[in-house]
Chain A
Amino acid sequence: GAGVSQSPSNKVTEKGKDVELRCDPISGHTALYWYRQSLGQGLEFLIYFQGNSAPDKSGLPSDRFSAERTGGSVSTLTIQRTQQEDSAVYLCASSLARGIQGTQYFGPGTRLLVL
């Protein structure tokens, strides 16, 4: 595809439910990143993938959050037992290479609202 795509665009869920957010990176990009954009918290890093491996999960806010990447392409961010404080925009980015060799290109994000 031409750019990073994310689905769904918007998600409303009830507290306690599980949600899955999907990211399709730019074809050929080996590095993939998840960020969270919350009111009052700005943009925070969640997790990074190089291929299918996630060498750094330190940004995940709790063990209710998990992510996987398959085939070196699509990634899914799963939030279990959602809480109201999980409400945010979840942004995915990909780059051709890790670190500064690769500019990060962002998707349009998934806006999650937990009622």
Chain B
Amino acid sequence: AQTVTQSQPEMSVQEAETVTLSCTYDTSENNYYLFWYKQPPSRQMILVIRQEAYKQQNATENRFSVNFQKAAKSFSLKISDSQLGDTAMYFCAFMADLSNDYKLSFGAGTTVTVRA
């Protein structure tokens, strides 16, 4: 079974600054995918970024980037130039690259508050 750990329940950041959210995971699989989802107060889970474990290059999506350390099983999310609209709960998630796998395993989430 896979476990995903987010050790920071809450983070606060000043508008325009940078914040980094940590995520570690435990798996015996070699091929897998990692995701960061954002859940604003509207409850809608939105995919922020995704990383394939076989790719060494870190994924980036505009102001969002990840630091993927496969050996350390670490997958942190960096939000640059934080905006008020980034205020949300952020979930790290894992899916194994298996023909019979389809479930996302989620961490407990990190609440990010962007201050004006």
Encode contact with B along A99-111: 1 for CB under 8 Å, 0 otherwise. Answer: 1100111111101
Contacts of B102 in A (CB 8 A): 31, 33, 48, 56, 98-99
Total interface residues in chain B, CB < 8 Å? 23
Q: Which residues of B59-116 are within 8 A (CB) of A? A: 91, 95, 97-99, 101-109
Whether A108 lies near B44 (C-beta < 8 A) is yes
Complex CA gap A99/B96 in Å reads: 9
Contacts of A103 in B (CB 8 A): 47, 50
CB distance from A57 to the nearest CB of B (A): 12
Whether A104 lies near B104 (C-beta < 8 A) is yes
Contacts of B42 in A (CB 8 A): 108
28 A/B residue pairs, CB under 8 Å, sorted by A = A31-B102, A33-B102, A33-B103, A42-B106, A43-B104, A44-B106, A45-B103, A45-B104, A48-B102, A89-B43, A93-B45, A99-B97, A99-B98, A99-B99, A99-B101, A99-B102, A100-B33, A100-B95, A100-B97, A100-B101, A103-B50, A104-B47, A105-B47, A106-B44, A106-B45, A108-B43, A108-B44, A111-B43
Interface residues of B (CB under 8 A from A): 33, 37, 42-47, 50, 91, 95, 97-99, 101-109
